[in-house]
């Protein structure tokens, strides 16, 4: 009896294999999805409880990011046990997975969907019920990714050259200008790349557009003085922030002010680090007073940015970086070195990292969307507006109590009149 079983076994096995292969071929032909045999996986790795019970497959269903296995959880095992085999399972499934517990069952979602590699920018619709700034910046498999400046006021945009930083800066500025009126929001632009943000220099919203470190320094100091003034005002009315202040009946509402620094490395030309020192203070205080900072840079290591300042830039929009070390600097984890470039990003907010695709906007579209806010400011006018930093008041010296006689700075405004033709 037992010998006949032995003879038949290989035949049955091979018959089974033939059936399985032809069933698979049939499924492929009919375009029916075949799923990886996850229970077989658990058997192979002996994933069982002390009574040799394995997880049971309840069902497989389509889910937002791909498909999900719903499994029973044998007595004594927990989600942490499942997480221990996550890496091994991902190799077999050839996809990333997420493991969650739901009402005593285990859900393993296999992420097969990919984010599109180009998502066209659209002017966002504003939710007028919000008393704070919130703008969409990218799409992820979980939906739209928003920057909420009330939650996290300051933003770091980083990535190697050509990875998508400037396109992202332009999409953010275009949204801000279209969603908030010039009386609600002012822009202060420091553009060390000179041409990247030049399109925005003539807008009603734009109160300053500077491209050299001396002007930048004074502009930052000016905003710091404004920040101090706002705190004094809060103190007077016994409120803690702009949101409560603006609710005071009959009060002259404070507006939002955005300081945007494109290619932050330009700040290093300031050898005395005056700008950096003020920025450090500004970034830690500005949250309450409706003033927000954006800094874009290729690398965010200590040779480029003060570490205290970096720690205060809580929203992280990270495009492809050179290597793992650069990824760790800005995300506390690797991964950004594997991004595809072209606006593919890891966005970290409130401790959570989300793979995203930033919106794509062409320069011609930026110009189209912002043209109704353009006023006729010539380069001379902008230069004139910056001249206040050149006389004796020197906000930077005032803010840092620098000795006026020490090492007089030379203020040179380069001739950038060619910007008028851009
Ligand atoms: N969000 C995006 N989607 C698709 N392509 C993009 C996106 N952002 C950038 N790119 C592509 O990458 C190029 C370089 O982008 P850019 O923002 O100028 O890089 P960086 O400022 O990081 O040097 C763009 O000209 C465009 O072709
Ligand atoms: Mg750039």
**Residue closest by Cα to atom 13 of ligand 1:** 162
Q: What is the pLDDT of residues 71-108, one digit of tens each?
A: 999 999 999 999 999 999 999 999 999 999 999 999 99
If asked whether residues 217 and 326 sit together in one domain, one would say yes
Of 111, 133, 155, at which residue does a domain stop?
111
Q: What is the pLDDT of residues 250-272, one digit of tens each?
A: 999 999 999 999 999 999 998 88
In this structure, the residues whose C-beta lies within 6 A of any atom of ligand 1 are 118, 159, 161-167, 342-343, 358-360
Q: For a substitution probing ligand 1, which of 318, 326, 343, 363 has the most ligand atoms within 8 Å of its CB?
A: 343
Of 58, 82, 111, at which residue does a domain stop?
111
If asked whether residues 293 and 409 sit together in one domain, one would say yes
pTM of the full predicted structure? 0.81
The confidence score (pLDDT) of residue 402 equals 45
CATH number of the domain residue 229 falls in: 3.40.50.300
First-to-final CA distance of the chain? 92
Q: What is the pLDDT of residues 15-63, one digit of tens each?
A: 877 777 776 676 666 655 678 999 999 999 999 999 999 999 999 999 9
If asked whether residues 265 and 412 sit together in one domain, one would say yes
- What element of type H or E holds 382? helix 379-387
Domain count, the chain: 2
Cβ proximity of 132 and 243 under 8 Å: yes
If asked whether residues 48 and 178 sit together in one domain, one would say no
Within 10 Å of residue 180's Cβ, how many Cβ atoms?
A: 19
Query: In angstroms, what is the C-alpha Rg of the chain?
Result: 28
Which of the four pLDDT bands, split at 50, 70 and 90, describes residue 410?
very low
Residue labelled with tokens 């394995």 = 54
Residue 368 pLDDT > 90: yes
| DSSP secondary structure of 69-83 | EEEE--TT--HHHHH
If asked whether residues 15 and 150 sit together in one domain, one would say no
Q: What 3-state DSSP class applies to 375?
A: coil
Q: For a substitution probing ligand 1, which of 167, 297, 356 has the most ligand atoms within 8 Å of its CB?
A: 167
CATH number of the domain residue 75 falls in: 3.30.980
The confidence score (pLDDT) of residue 271 equals 85
- How far apart, in whole angstroms, are the C-alpha atoms of residue 82 and residue 73? 9
- How far apart, in whole angstroms, are the C-alpha atoms of residue 34 and residue 39? 14
- How far apart, in whole angstroms, are the C-alpha atoms of residue 26 and residue 29? 5
Q: Which domain holds residue 85?
A: 2-111
Within 10 Å of residue 328's Cβ, how many Cβ atoms?
A: 15
């Amino acid at each position: 009896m037992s010998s006949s079983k032995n003879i038949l076994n290989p035949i049955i096995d091979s018959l089974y294999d033939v059936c399985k292969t032809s069933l698979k071929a049939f499924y492929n032909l009919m375009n029916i999805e075949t799923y990886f045999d996850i229970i077989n996986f658990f058997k192979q790795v002996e994933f069982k409880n002390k009574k040799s019970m394995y997880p049971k497959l309840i069902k497989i269903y389509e889910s937002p990011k791909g498909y999900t296995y719903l499994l029973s959880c044998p007595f004594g095992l927990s989600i942490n046990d499942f997480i221990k085999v996550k890496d091994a399972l991902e190799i077999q499934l050839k996809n990333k997975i997420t493991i969650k517990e739901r009402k005593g069952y285990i859900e393993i979602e296999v992420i097969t969907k990919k984010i599109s590699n180009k998502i066209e920018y659209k002017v966002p619709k504003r939710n007028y019920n919000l008393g704070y700034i919130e703008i969409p910046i990218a799409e992820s498999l979980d939906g739209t990714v928003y920057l909420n400046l009330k939650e996290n006021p300051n933003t770091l945009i980083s990535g190697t050259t050509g990875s998508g930083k400037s396109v992202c800066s332009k999409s953010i500025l275009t949204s801000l200008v279209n969603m908030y009126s010039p009386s609600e929001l002012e822009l202060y632009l420091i553009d060390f790349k000179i041409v990247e943000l030049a399109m925005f220099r003539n807008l009603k919203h734009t109160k300053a557009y500077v491209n050299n470190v001396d002007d930048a320094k004074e502009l930052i100091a000016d905003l710091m003085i404004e920040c101090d003034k706002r705190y004094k005002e809060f103190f007077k009315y016994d409120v803690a922030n702009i949101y409560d202040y603006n609710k005071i009946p009959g009060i002259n509402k404070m507006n939002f002010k955005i300081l945007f620094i494109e290619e932050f490395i330009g700040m290093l030309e300031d050898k005395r680090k005056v700008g950096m020192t003020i920025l450090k203070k500004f970034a830690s205080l500005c949250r309450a007073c409706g003033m927000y900072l954006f800094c874009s840079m290729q690398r965010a290591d200590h040779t480029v940015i003060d570490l205290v300042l970096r720690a205060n830039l809580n929203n992280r929009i990270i495009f492809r970086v050179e290597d793992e070390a650069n990824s760790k600097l800005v995300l506390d984890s690797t991964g950004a070195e594997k991004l595809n470039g072209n606006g593919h990003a890891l966005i970290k907010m409130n401790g959570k990292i989300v793979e995203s695709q930033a919106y794509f906007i062409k320069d011609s579209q930026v110009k189209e969307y912002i043209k109704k806010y353009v006023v006729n400011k010539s380069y001379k006018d902008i230069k004139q507006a910056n001249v206040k930093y050149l006389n004796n008041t020197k906000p930077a010296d005032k803010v840092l109590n620098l000795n006026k006689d020490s090492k007089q700075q030379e203020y040179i405004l380069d001739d950038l009149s060619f910007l008028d033709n851009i």
